[in-house]
A = this chain, B = another copy of it.
Amino acid sequence: MKELSNIADNLKLLGDKTRLAILTLLKEREWCVCEFVEIFDMSQPAISQHLRKLKAQGIVKEDKRGQWVYYSLHIEDKPYIQAVLDQMPDSKTILSQLNKSQINIVCE
C-alpha cells in the first residue's frame, strides 16, 4: 500500500492545468517534448521542467529516439491516477480548451 503522503505528492502534480493536460494527452499516445512546446503557450524549459517532475515521481517514462525524447504514461501501479485520467475528456476536448485560453490571452 502506498503511503498517504506519496499519493498526495502524486496528486499534487495532477493539480496543475498544464501537467493535467499533458497526462490526459498521453492517454492517447506518446508525445515528444517539441509537440507539447507547440501546443502550450509556454517556453520549452517550462515544459521540460513539468516533464521532469512527472518523471521524478514515476508517472511518465521517457524514450530517447535520436534527437527526440518521447514521453508516455507509467501509471500501472497508480490506480488513483488511472481513475482520474479515466474521467478526463478526450484529447480533442483538451486541445480545444487550451486553444480557447490562448485566444483569451490574445483578446485581453
Residue numbers of A with Cβ under 8 A of B are 1, 3-5, 7-17, 20-21, 24, 79-80, 83-84, 86-89, 93-94, 97-98, 101
Q: Are B16 and A8 neighbours in the complex by a CB distance under 8 Å?
A: yes
Q: List 23 A-B contacts (CB under 8 A).
A: A1-B89, A4-B20, A4-B24, A4-B94, A4-B98, A5-B101, A8-B14, A8-B15, A8-B17, A11-B11, A11-B14, A11-B15, A11-B84, A12-B12, A12-B15, A13-B15, A14-B15, A80-B83, A80-B84, A83-B83, A83-B86, A83-B87, A84-B84
| Copy count, this protein chain | 2
Q: Which residue of B lies closest to A86 (CB)?
A: B83
| A97 cross-chain contacts in B, Cβ below 8 A | 3-4
Further pairs besides A5-B17, A11-B14, A14-B14: 6, Cβ < 8 Å: A1-B93, A4-B98, A7-B20, A8-B15, A8-B17, A11-B11
